[in-house]
């Protein structure tokens, strides 16, 4: 099932995220159950990631590389990640978390 949530970045913009629970149903459920919450935003290459969130999920169907505009959860940092281009550790434009 696809769920839409709104990410509001003060003084910048509002982003609508579409979460598809086909690949990671437990992670999506944990994220939705944790809403609403407020966190800081950080940049790493062309990735936006949050400070620690209240989401409690373990690694679920992780991939070594992601696609443009993917949304991911990083269990170690309890962070939500939005990929809009290459990351510093990706090779030749690869989007690698």
Given pLDDT bands bounded at 50, 70 and 90, which one contains residue 93? confident
Give the dihedral sign, CA 26/32/35/37. positive
**What number is the average pLDDT over the span 12-40?**
94
| pLDDT score at 53 | 97
| pLDDT score at 96 | 87
| pLDDT score at 43 | 93
User: For 2-83, which CATH class?
Assistant: mainly beta
d(CA 9, CA 33): 21
């Amino acid at each position: 099932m696809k769920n839409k949530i709104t990410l509001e970045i003060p003084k910048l913009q509002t982003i609508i995220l579409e979460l598809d629970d086909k690949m990671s149903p437990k992670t999506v459920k944990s994220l939705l159950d944790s809403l609403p919450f407020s966190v800081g935003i950080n940049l790493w290459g062309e990735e936006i990631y949050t400070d620690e969130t209240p989401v409690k999920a373990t690694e679920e169907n992780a991939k070594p590389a992601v696609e443009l505009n993917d949304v991911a959860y990083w269990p170690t940092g309890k962070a939500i990640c939005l990929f809009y281009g290459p990351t510093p550790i990706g090779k030749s434009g690869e989007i690698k978390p």
